[in-house]
């Protein structure tokens, strides 16, 4: 039954694909489920398609289908109000489709950053809500289906046959540097990113909730207002779960400091302004990376948490979860950070006007690109400390994994610096006081 439903999804995607799409009018040869999405929210399907006569020179091709079909039990709030985690998941899949459909195309067309920051090509997508009868013949209470789906290249067939495993220490030196180059060029391409329409950006889950319709009120075409897997406004449940008697609560990460840290990482609160501000992947870890045969090139996928932010937010998660603890000793930490920063600055200077900058306020965009090219290593390190603490705050409530000892030791060192916490809080409080005046 599940395969039949997925076959209907593929048929719908193929039939609705633009005439110029590679998969337009293709025929299904085979499909098989290769993974399930987190918490049972759908499936990842490997699909073999026989391309149409116009494209028969390319023969049969393999694609990846991502089907989002939330558990029925999660579709209602049960009268208890919105569930932050459920809303975040639903919004994240729409954000991912938006990225591939829009901003991702700018990266694919970049001759400077694109070759170093590879992603899959989107061939077709379905957005919720669709009539259930189109998908599986059933009908929900409102006659709609919550199914979303995207059809992508199989990253293994476009030059990246090696998928990394989700465990720290699996990446060798070449792969680690390839991943850092991917991040540096991705961040460089989108450095200074500003949306052409702010309303297109996705707000945090609870701010996207519509009480009148008991569902998300956001239906934009953009990405997260603030990207990242652990951004505090999208992880209020995890913040509340930090034990009151833990060292992290005592050091302030359960209180105002949690909000102050993430505000100081934003374009509004950063001490260095727009420098370092970009589009971030949001969930960079070995499990979301693939590598070329020789390990010198990387590609990334799973863009559910892509949005505005400072690039070191991606670095903090990647380096604390996907490389060995030995790599992150003091000398190793500095070497990797400098390598990323050098790659980032070089790429920004090499690509002054990416495709995405050709819409909107040209003057503001060019100014933000200039600020990115002048992003000093000293300012970068200020952001790095904040990003490490933001990630540790999330882990303190959700559960620790990765290079736990290194991350916790580093976070404790930062928080115990004389005057550090007071200074971060004061900047944030000054902002809130000014807003109230």
CATH at 218 = 3.90.1200
Q: Are 379 and 371 in contact (CB under 8 A)?
A: no
Pick from 103, 104, 41: nearest CA to 75: 41
Q: Please enumerate in sequence order all residues whose Cβ is within 8 A of that of 47, keeping only pairs 6 or more positions apart, or say none.
A: 10, 28, 30, 31, 62, 63, 64, 65, 151
For the chain, give the number of residues.
Answer: 437
pLDDT tens readout for residues 315-372: 999 999 999 888 998 799 999 999 999 999 999 999 988 888 776 667 778 888 889 9
Residue 150 falls within a domain, yes or no? no
Residue 6 falls within a domain, yes or no? no
Strand, helix or coil for residue 166: coil
Residue 73 falls within a domain, yes or no? no
The position carrying tokens 């293994």 is 156
pLDDT tens readout for residues 362-384: 777 888 888 999 999 999 999 99
Residue 97 falls within a domain, yes or no? no
**277 pLDDT more than 50:** yes
Beta strands in 154-276 (DSSP E): 162-163, 209-210, 215-216
Residue 68 falls within a domain, yes or no? no
Residue 302 falls within a domain, yes or no? yes
List the domain range (segments joined by +) for residue 423: 161-436
pTM here is 0.92
Q: Are 389 and 411 in contact (CB under 8 A)?
A: yes
CA triplet 253, 259, 265: central angle to 5 degrees? 105
Q: Are 39 and 64 in contact (CB under 8 A)?
A: no
**131 pLDDT more than 60:** no
Q: Are 122 and 303 in contact (CB under 8 A)?
A: no
The dihedral over CA atoms of 266, 272, 274, 279, expressed in degrees to the nearest 10, equals -50
**If pLDDT is split at 50, 70 and 90, which confidence band does 289 have?**
very high
Structure tokens at 408: 């916790």
CA 183 – CA 300 distance, rounded (Å):
9
Residue 337 falls within a domain, yes or no? yes
Side-by-side strand order, sheet with 42-50: 27-36, 42-50, 60-68, 148-153, 122-126
pLDDT tens readout for residues 53-92: 666 666 789 999 999 988 765 555 555 667 888 889 989 9
Number of domains in the chain: 1
Q: Are 400 and 369 in contact (CB under 8 A)?
A: no
CA 191 – CA 348 distance, rounded (Å):
7
Residue 171 falls within a domain, yes or no? yes
Q: Are 415 and 396 in contact (CB under 8 A)?
A: no
Q: At what angle do helices 404-415 and 377-398 cross, to 10 degrees?
A: 120
């Amino acid at each position: 039954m599940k395969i039949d439903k997925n076959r209907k999804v593929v048929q719908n995607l193929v039939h609705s694909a633009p005439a110029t799409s590679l998969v337009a009018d293709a025929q299904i040869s085979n499909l098989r489920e290769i993974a399930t999405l987190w918490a049972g929210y759908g499936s990842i399907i490997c699909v073999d398609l026989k391309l149409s006569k116009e494209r028969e020179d390319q023969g049969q091709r393999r694609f990846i289908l991502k089907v989002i079909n939330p558990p029925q039990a999660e579709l209602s709030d049960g009268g208890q109000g919105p569930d932050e985690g459920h809303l975040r998941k639903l919004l994240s899949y729409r954000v991912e489709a938006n990225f591939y459909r829009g901003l991702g195309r700018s990266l694919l067309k970049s001759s400077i950053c694109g070759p170093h920051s590879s992603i899959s090509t989107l061939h077709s997508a379905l957005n919720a809500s669709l009539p259930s009868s189109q998908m599986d013949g059933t009908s929900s209470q409102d006659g709609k289906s919550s199914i979303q789906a995207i059809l992508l290249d199989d990253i293994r067939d476009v030059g990246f046959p090696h998928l990394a495993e989700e465990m720290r220490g699996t990446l060798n030196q070449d792969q680690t540097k390839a991943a850092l180059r991917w991040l540096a060029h991705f961040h460089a391409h989108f450095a200074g990113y500003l949306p052409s329409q702010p309303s297109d950006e996705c707000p945090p889950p609870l701010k996207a909730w519509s009480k009148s319709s008991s569902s998300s009120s956001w239906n934009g075409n953009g990405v997260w207002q603030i990207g990242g897997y652990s951004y505090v406004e999208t992880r209020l449940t995890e913040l509340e779960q930090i034990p009151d008697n833990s060292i992290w609560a005592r050091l302030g990460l359960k209180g105002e400091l949690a909000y102050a840290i993430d505000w100081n990482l934003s374009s509004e609160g950063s001490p260095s302004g727009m420098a370092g501000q970009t589009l971030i992947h949001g969930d960079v870890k070995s499990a979301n990376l693939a590598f070329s045969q020789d390990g010198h090139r990387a590609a990334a996928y799973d863009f559910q948490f892509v949005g505005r932010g400072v690039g070191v937010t991606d670095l903090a998660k990647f380096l604390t979860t996907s490389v060995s603890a030995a790599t992150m000793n003091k000398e190793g930490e500095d070497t990797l950070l400098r390598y990323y920063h050098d790659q980032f600055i070089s790429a920004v200077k090499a690509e002054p006007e990416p495709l995405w900058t050709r819409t909107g306020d040209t003057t503001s965009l060019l100014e933000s690109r200039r600020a990115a090219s002048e992003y000093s290593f000293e300012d970068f390190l200020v952001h790095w400390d904040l990003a490490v603490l933001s990630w540790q705050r999330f882990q303190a409530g959700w559960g620790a994994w990765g290079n736990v000892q290194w991350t916790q030791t580093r976070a404790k060192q930062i928080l115990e610096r004389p005057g550090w916490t007071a200074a971060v809080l004061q900047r944030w409080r000054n902002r809130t006081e000014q807003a109230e005046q």
